[in-house]
Structure 1
Amino acid sequence: MSWPHVIPYANPIYFLWLAVALLPMIFMLLIKGKRWGWYQSLITLIFLYISFGGKYWQQGLALIGYVIFQTLLVWCYHHYRQQKNASGIFYLAVALAILPLTLVKVIPFVDGGAAAIFGFLGISYLTFKSVQMIMEMRDGTIKEYHPLRYIQFLLFFPTISSGPIDRYRRFEKDLLEPPTREVYAGLLNRGIWSIFLGFFYKFILGYYFGQVWLPLLNKSLMHQGFFSWSLILYMYCYSMYLFFDFAGYSLFAVGVSNLMGYDTPKNFNKPFISDNIKEFWNRWHMTLSFWFRDFIYMRLMFTLIKKKVFKSRIVASNVGYFALFMIMGVWHGLTWYYLLYGFYHASLICLTDAWLRFKKKHKKQLPSNKFTKALAIFLTFQAVCFSFLIFSGVLDQLFFHH
């Protein structure tokens, strides 16, 4: 019998292999409150092979090279930082950490085939972990470096392809201190629930929105053009597909982590009940939002304020938002609609900030009740769905390829 080679959580057979592999680990944690380190390493290698072996062998080689490169880079930075915490070396280390991802994003514009040399599924999320490690070493919050623990952090297979993006110190604590049997019983219950909910999201709702209705709407849209009801229906359908597909995947990743005794942070928290765009980003793809906030926005704000680049904190904040979301747009891809997506969200957040300041100043004059709350949620939902219409790339088809 040959080993299957499938993308994580994309095929029912992947879950069959997961069930078989995780049973011994579940048994040990439930009965003895212990975790076999060697067994976790073994199933990690097996599932990495399932994801990156066979026809994906080029990705597998790229992953091996990437992990060796990042492990040595972080070791070199940690060793040098103990001698001298120089800013130049820090910026060089960060630049080198994001270099493989930069090559993967840029090379397709020169030679699409060459991107396979550097790229593999999940390279963005591993890069976020690597940069985080270097930055927290610079801050002094990570004082010791254990290469094997770092490799386990990078290659934690439930989250390797698309997150959630964990934090090293939180992961290390779970790695070194398995949960008690009582705590694990709760994790096991949550994990099973997350996996079943993930099936409902991804394979039922996500399937119908993405594989059944979306192609029909796209076909209708190509015939009717830009000014049509099909475009509005496409906007809502794509938004629902994007949420249920990605939230379903994230539930699988968190659920499998829970079964292994890891309390991996969740990625979505009812984002469509947000009453403004800032709250939306605190509920949507949360680990990515918080990563960008902590490691890009807050550091940029600190630099702008410390060096007094702008007299007004409001101006500095707005510049920070635009820098943050333009970087996020570039991360998604070097296309005009991803850049517009970033610009659009930065504009919405700046407008939201202005509105919240105005609202605070005129608190007594402005009504605040269930109706205004519902209206705010409705308007935020429309604004978010329109941003996903931009993100989908369908406008590019209509404007330039119709």
Structure 2
Amino acid sequence: MIPYSDFLFFLIIGILFIPTIILGLLGKSARKYNMLISIIVLALIFGLDMKDFTVNWKSAISILLFTLFQVLLIKGYHTYRMTKNNTQVFIIAVLLAILPLVLVKVLPFFNLHIFGFLGISYITFKAVQLIMETRDGMMKKKQVPISELIYFLLFFPTVSSGPIDRWKRFDKDFQTVPTKDEYRELLLKGINSIFLGFFYKFILAFLLYNKILVFLPNRTYDVLNGLEGHIAYMYIYSLYLFFDFAGYSCFALGVSYIMGIRTPKNFNLPFISRNIKDFWDRWHMSLSFWFRDYVYMRFVFWMMKKKWIKNRYVISYIGYFLLFLLMGVWHGLALHFVVYGLYHAFLIICFDKFERWNKKTKFWKDNKFTHAISIFITFNFVCFGFYIFSGALF
């Protein structure tokens, strides 16, 4: 069963959430019950094939073995870190954590489909995050209960496509029982978010895809005279991608709120971004912030510490290429994903150079007119990036 894909999924979780809502409105803890229904929903997501209502043993076994592997790795490194701090052990732990994801991404390239399941990327990101935060001393508990660790890794509202939460923030919500008034506010926010998700995903995204987008490739050269067809496809695909993914994120946030977890939002009006850096502070924020904090910042810090390159701007630019190349490859090994990542690295570097030059020359002054022009320029560069991402360019 794919989360948030049809009415049946919402019906099931709606029924399961009745005790959660009652307990929350009474100001009582629903943690244990929420953990129980999480097991039920996860079993439906990973164990049930809705096409013929059969058990998907491959997916079920994959998620069980993968979770067991990650939990043992995290607990093992956590125990080790309490007494020692060896960099090589840390690197090995991180590499082992991402190994299953790498295999899932690489093996299909050789036409090998051995294992894999929905959401393996986001669970991997959480596992790597926990290992890194353990090294940084952010996980101060002597021992994190395995049940809480699994609940964080497999939190079903966000398990398939995020947003990616942080352990410290998630654990704080998990340990705190909202008051009646606090839960009532969370419940209303959750319901509003779910309805907004329906509007985004099942109305706007549906209409853009089924009524317009699917017909453009066949009409590009016959009716829309080539270039016009590609331009139309670029803008419509960009809007479709936003409403489809933002709709899913609204569902994830809404369901999380009902469970008492304030999952961070993923989108913040990305199409009114003033520049490409502002865009990545607004688009798929949990993923972009994750890559920024756990890839870019650590790479830059490591390079500055080693002093192999003295120019900090060169280090930063190499970090941008590494960051966006990884983000592109994470989507897949196809050429258009790689080019998409490199394209955004190029945009970030160009803007950084322009920004530093503008601080000296004061060429581009900040006013209402330049603000509007900046949004227009950024929007078009972003849409062209999505056009590359779609694969239509190649």
**TM-score above 0.5, yes or no:** yes
Q: Which runs of 5+ in 1 are unaligned?
A: 1-5, 397-402
SS at match of 2:382: helix
| CA offset digits 1:33-57 (Å, max 9, x no partner) | 2223331122111111221113333
Equivalences, count? 386
**Corresponding residue for residue 26 of structure 1:** 21
Counterpart Cα distance in 1 of 2:348 and 2:223? 33
Give secondary structure in 2 for the equivalent of 1:161: coil
Structure 2: how far apart are the matches of 1:113 and 1:181?
49
Return the match for 1:381 from 348, 369, 379: 379
CA distance in 2, matches of 1:225, 1:88: 57
**Counterpart code for 1:23:** I
Separation of aligned partners in 1, 2:364 and 2:85: 51
The answer to whether structure 1 residue 46 and structure 2 residue 40 are counterparts is yes
1:125 to 122, 127, 134: 122
- After superposition, residues 312-351 of structure 1 pair within 5 angstroms as 312-351=311-350
Q: Counterparts of 1:291-370 in structure 2 under 5 Å?
A: 291-363=290-362, 365-370=363-368
Q: Give 1:107-126 correspondences, 5 Å limit.
A: 107-114=107-114, 117=115, 119-126=116-123
Q: Which amino acid aligns with 2:392?
A: V
Question: Within the alignment, does 1:158 sit opposite 2:157 as a pair?
Answer: yes
Counterpart-to-counterpart distance in 2, 1:132 and 1:16: 33
Q: Which runs of 5+ in 2 are unaligned?
A: 50-55
1:130-157 deviation per Cα after TM superposition (whole angstroms, max 9, x unaligned): 0000000001111224122110101111
For the pair 1:98 / 2:95, whether they are aligned, the reply is no
**Stretches (4+) displaced over 6 A:** none
Match for residue 399 of structure 1? none
| Residues 349 and 368 of structure 1, relative CA distance in 2, 3 Å threshold | same
For residues 306 and 186 of structure 2, the distance between their equivalents in structure 1, rounded to whole angstroms, comes to 46
User: Percent identity, aligned pairs only?
Assistant: 53
Cα offsets for 1:177-216 (capped at 9, x unmatched) = 1222222222111111100000000000010112221111
Residue of structure 2 equivalent to 1:187: 186
Match of 2:389 among 369, 388, 391: 391
How far is 1:332 from its partner? Answer: 0.8
More divergent stretch after superposition (330-339 vs 123-132): 330-339
Report Cα offsets for 1:352-387 as digits up to 9, x if no partner.
111111121123x54332111100000000000000
Alpha-carbon distance in 2 for matches of 1:222, 1:153: 49
Partners in 2 of 1:180 and 1:92 — Cα distance?
43
> Per-residue displacement from partner, 1:315-357 (whole Å, max 9, x unpaired)?
1111110110011111111111111001000000011111111
- Report the Cα distance in structure 2 between the residues aligned to 1:52 and 1:226, rounded to whole angstroms: 45
Please name the residue that 2:52 is paired with: none
Change in 2 beyond 3 A, CA 1:226/1:297 = farther
Corresponding residue for residue 84 of structure 1? 84
Q: Which residues of 2 match residues 234-249 of structure 1 at below 5 A?
A: 234-249=233-248
Counterpart of 2:132, as a letter, is M
TM-score, normalised by the number of residues in structure 2: 0.95
